[in-house]
Amino acid sequence: MRMRHKHRKSSALCCSAGSRWSLSAVVWSLVGCILIIHFYSLVHHQEEGEAQVRLSHFPLTKELEEIEEENFQIQPRGKRSPRAAKRRGGKRPSLIDEFLDDSSQIRLLFFPDHKTAIGPTKAAANESGYFYPGRLWLDTEGNPIQAHGGGIMYDQRTETYYWYGENKEGLTYQAHKKGAARVDIIGVNCYSSKDLWSWYNEGIVLLGEESNVTHDLHKSNVLERPKVIYNDQTDKYVMWMHIDDENYTKASVGVAISDSATGPFEYLYSKRPHGFDSRDMSIFKDDDGKAYLIYSSEDNSELHISLLTNDYLDVTRMMRRILVGQHREAPAIFKHQGTYYMITSGCTGWAPNEALAHAAESIMGPWETMGNPCIGGNKIFRATTFFSQSTFVVPLRGMPDSFIFMADRWNPAELRDSRYVWLPLTVGGAADEPLEYNFGFPLWSRVSIYWHKRWKLPDGWQRA
């Protein structure tokens, strides 16, 4: 019996070894095939990417894709800001600490003096039409533009761009000792432009509420990140926004509607979409006319995307959770050659952090993270999204691979003096970082945001 058992054991071992050898050979053969195919796709993709880059490098965009560097002359340790050092518990303050401290001697690097303001009424002949990220930006009447956390809608009928954003002209204060810096609700401003540089103030198109303390728009509450899209079926302009109380516990979206791009908008209601908390948000209108709400939820630990109803006035039951557990906010979605792209920021309050680019074949996901899109400046610039936070991405007519990345450089010490960081964004070339969940590289092109101290759109870009 022992002999039979031993014989069987020996025979089984032989079979098992053979099976393991066969299985191993099959597995390694498959791995080899996959690697060959993957290598071929990478080479093919790289060739396609290089072709796209070569095609995009015609005079219209070449200048926008040049890389500029930034060098900071930081004060010696003894001249660092005492407040910034205190914030770090006596340790040497970082550049971000200096950025956040309104008494820091290097603040002018990020918030240049008002004497350097740009705009139609102030620009010299050699500055007209040039964007200067971080400088004060004036409208056609010579007043600072107040359109923070905003977005842009292009109206095809009037061939006009409309920029909607928060009016933060009020006094910056804290509702309580540990509360975030804030201003009372004034309303949503609207500016119009033909060239994206010279902006005419259309006024406050959604006004805050002074007396009714129960109203969502009462001055003591929070109104952030307004975005407007046009509904072709109803011929209405629809605004969505983040609505909150002073302690950020309401966490809702608000909806308003107007017959005109320049308002006035009628405020309708607020709600928690699908019963979830909603903070930083945006809306996106697709090529087929369908529109979507994108919002940070579950204490900013994930993003939700929902299809809107046909009239754009509510969410449907269709909702997907994306970037779960990644703690991203400030979503800015755009579309290029059938692929959906999104720029997001981390959740660090008013402190700037690293942007990430994401892509998906369907807007409802799955979404893949492709890495930091920021190019140029320096290491700290790239790690802080050029000391700003994403809010919107503007497609450029006549330049199919090119966009403008819109961001806010928040000034928590005086929110009215927060600045705008607009930079050229292009889509083209092979992505240089692997996908998040496997060893492969995406088949879609990388997103690049280029740092420029001074830049302008090429002449004739709208007719290209």
Question: At residue 58, what are phi and psi to the nearest 5 degrees?
Answer: -90, 165
Q: What are the structural domains of the chain?
A: 115-463 (2.115.10.20)
Per-residue pLDDT band for 82 (boundaries 50, 70, 90) equals low
Contact 87, 93 (CB under 8 A): yes
Of 12-21, 82-91, 169-178, the least confident: 12-21
How far apart, in whole angstroms, are the C-alpha atoms of residue 38 and residue 49?
A: 16
Residue of 384, 354, 360 lying closest to 303 (CA atoms): 360
CA separation, residue 41 to residues 46, 49, 263, 368 (Å): 8, 12, 51, 18
Cα three-residue angle 445-447-448, rounded to 5 degrees: 130
How far apart, in whole angstroms, are the C-alpha atoms of residue 286 and residue 139?
A: 30
How far apart, in whole angstroms, are the C-alpha atoms of residue 128 and residue 119?
A: 8
Q: Kindly compute the dihedral angle of the four CA atoms of residues 188, 194, 196, 197, in this order, to the nearest 10 degrees.
A: -100
Burial zone of 224 (CB within 10 Å; 0-12 exposed, 13-18 middle, 19+ buried): buried
Give the model's pLDDT for residue 438. Answer: 55
Phi-psi region of 159 (alpha: psi -120 to 50; beta: other; left: phi over 0): left
Per-residue pLDDT band for 46 (boundaries 50, 70, 90) equals very low
How far apart, in whole angstroms, are the C-alpha atoms of residue 345 and residue 391?
A: 9
Question: At residue 95, what are phi and psi to the nearest 5 degrees?
Answer: -65, -30
Is residue 82 classed as helix, strand or coil in its secondary structure?
helix
Contact 168, 146 (CB under 8 A): yes
Residue of 190, 108, 65, 86 lying closest to 409 (CA atoms): 108
Give the model's pLDDT for residue 66. Answer: 77
Residue of 336, 286, 334, 333 lying closest to 56 (CA atoms): 336
The tens digit of pLDDT for each residue in 248-293 reads 999 999 999 999 999 999 999 999 999 999 999 999 999 999 999 9
How far apart, in whole angstroms, are the C-alpha atoms of residue 138 and residue 122?
A: 8
Of 121-130, 294-303, 388-397, 410-419, the least confident: 121-130
The tens digit of pLDDT for each residue in 294-329 reads 999 999 999 999 999 999 999 999 999 999 999 999
DSSP string, 194-222: SSSSS-EEEEEEEE-BSS-TTSTTBTTSE
Is residue 24 classed as helix, strand or coil in its secondary structure?
helix
Burial zone of 353 (CB within 10 Å; 0-12 exposed, 13-18 middle, 19+ buried): middle
Per-residue pLDDT band for 41 (boundaries 50, 70, 90) equals very low
How far apart, in whole angstroms, are the C-alpha atoms of residue 254 and residue 272?
A: 9
